[in-house]
A and B are shown apart, each in its own frame.
Chain A
């Protein structure tokens, strides 16, 4: 597609429920990144993919968080047993390759997750 598409744009969920967030990167972009943006905390790196593999999962805050990418394209971030502290905007970005950070990422508009 023309840009990075994320869905849903907004999600309200009850504490303890599981949620899935979707990211559809720009066609042909092999690298995909997930960040979390919390109020006053800036952007927190979660995980990145090169193709379908995830060389760096170091940013995932707990084992309730997982992500996968299939076909080198769409990625899904899953949060199990959501907690209120998971409330944030989850941003996805893609780039042509892992060596492409010098050319910048293209970000999606994010999914605003609210856990009540």
Chain B
């Protein structure tokens, strides 16, 4: 079956530090990959996506590259801000057209000034 594995948190960083949150997946075919973010007290929001191998999704300074050879979709940001503190979820949607997303367990990011 499909699955997503994320690094466990919390990830604690100082402002302006470099961020990497690892995500690997297991899926048949050619899934689409997503990162969602959940700020405190809010619902999940789509952060970025990539629909085919070698695609790079980017938004708000965050980037992730769809690596089929390593089945990975790691999230990166060059310089984090306090406002980036949130829970980040990696997710996949299988190619079959069946649209239910499979999510990882989430990684909490805490950024201190």
Partners in one complex: yes
Binding site for B on A (CB under 8 A): 4, 31, 33, 35, 40-43, 45, 48, 56, 91, 93, 95, 98-102, 104-105, 107-110
Q: Kindly list chain A residues whose C-beta atoms are within 8 Å of the C-beta of B45.
A: 107
Interface contact tally, CB-CB below 8 A: 58
Q: Kindly list chain B residues whose C-beta atoms are within 8 Å of the C-beta of A107.
A: 36, 43-45
Binding site for A on B (CB under 8 A): 32, 34, 36, 41-46, 49, 51, 89, 93, 97-106
Min CB distance B27 to A, Å, is 13
Among residues of A, the one whose C-beta sits closest to the C-beta of B90 is A42
Of B36, B42, B46, B100, most buried by chain A (CB within 10 Å of CB) is B100
Q: Kindly list chain A residues whose C-beta atoms are within 8 Å of the C-beta of B49.
A: 102, 104
Q: Complex formed: what's the CA distance from A93 to B46 in Å?
A: 12
Beta-carbon contact of A98 and B43 below 8 Å: no
Beta-carbon contact of A102 and B105 below 8 Å: no
